A = this chain, B = another copy of it.
Amino acid sequence: MLPGPFLLENTVFDVIRYAVAADSIIEAGRFLYQRGWSPATSSNYSERIDDQHIAITVSGRHKGQLSAGDIMVVDLDGGAVQSNSRSSAETRLHTVLYQLFPEVGAVLHTHSVKATVLSRLIAPGHSLELEGYELQKAFAGVETHESVLTVPVFANTQDIDALAEETKSWFREHPGQPGYLIRGHGLYTWGKTMEDCLRHVEAFEFLFDCELETMRVRP
């Protein structure tokens, strides 16, 4: 008896689910680029295909002009599956989130001016604390503005494996927080669906803008 089918069940992904995830990533890219949150080929996006595979952007592509050839598949260790393309250098920052949170269906990493500047203005070792904004309710599970949203700010590094471990440790301890910043670099956020995840990006960008606007008036 051949082991093949059994093997396939564990290692092969559903092609249709890949295609649907790729479409969703392409559309997200158009939106995020148009908003100015993914300039100059920065940023990377992913969506879960199944418990072993995610669709993710190929490294270095123009995020407002993604097309079929720009979305590949990796396993949860970040290894390319059925592809010779190279996924984003930050692939491991995505996969640790999918490993840690089985309910997460999409992860978006963006590079806005506001996120970049705010992350540099926060003193090392401090988090961004957001409080008293009605829009905090845009995050899944938040029911009132009378709550505190904590956004950790990690130091930037080109050692992605180390940063991946750092984020994994932090969010294992704080599973209720919906995103983080990397200093001088950008935002990571996630959600059950791409729709939820995009709503989280919008809410974070809104709140970053509010914080900076307030700092401008009251430096």
- Chain A positions within 8 Å of B, measured between CB atoms, are 39-42, 62, 111, 113-114, 116-117, 120-121, 132-135, 138, 143-146, 156, 158, 182-186, 195, 199-200, 202-203, 205-206, 209-210, 212-219
Please state if B145 and A209 are interface contacts (CB–CB under 8 Å).
Answer: no
Which residue in B114, B121, B200, B203 is a CB contact (below 8 Å) of A218? B121
Assembly CA distance A186 to B138 (angstroms): 14
**Contacts beyond the supplied A114-B213, A117-B214, A145-B156: 15 A-B pairs with Cβ under 8 Å:** A39-B135, A39-B205, A40-B138, A40-B203, A111-B134, A113-B206, A113-B210, A116-B210, A117-B217, A132-B184, A133-B185, A134-B182, A134-B184, A144-B158, A145-B158
Assembly CA distance A155 to B209 (angstroms): 21
Give A167 Cβ to nearest chain B Cβ, in Å: 15
Assembly CA distance A121 to B215 (angstroms): 11
Assembly CA distance A211 to B121 (angstroms): 12
Please state if B217 and A216 are interface contacts (CB–CB under 8 Å).
Answer: yes
Number of chain copies forming the complex: 4
- Chain B residue numbers with a CB within 8 Å of A215 are 217
Known contacts being A117-B214, A218-B219, A219-B217, is A138 close to B184, with CB within 8 Å? no
Give A84 Cβ to nearest chain B Cβ, in Å: 22
Assembly CA distance A200 to B215 (angstroms): 28
- Chain B residue numbers with a CB within 8 Å of A200 are 40
Please state if B42 and A134 are interface contacts (CB–CB under 8 Å).
Answer: yes
Assembly CA distance A7 to B126 (angstroms): 64
- Chain B residue numbers with a CB within 8 Å of A62 are 195, 199
Which residue in B39, B144, B212, B216 is a CB contact (below 8 Å) of A203? B39
Known contacts being A40-B203, A132-B156, A138-B42, is A216 close to B216, with CB within 8 Å? yes
Assembly CA distance A116 to B133 (angstroms): 8
Please state if B206 and A217 are interface contacts (CB–CB under 8 Å).
Answer: no
**Could you jot down 24 A-B contacts, CB within 8 Å?**
A39-B202, A39-B205, A40-B199, A40-B203, A40-B206, A41-B138, A111-B206, A113-B209, A113-B210, A114-B213, A116-B134, A116-B206, A117-B210, A117-B214, A117-B217, A120-B132, A121-B218, A132-B156, A134-B182, A134-B184, A144-B158, A146-B158, A212-B213, A219-B219
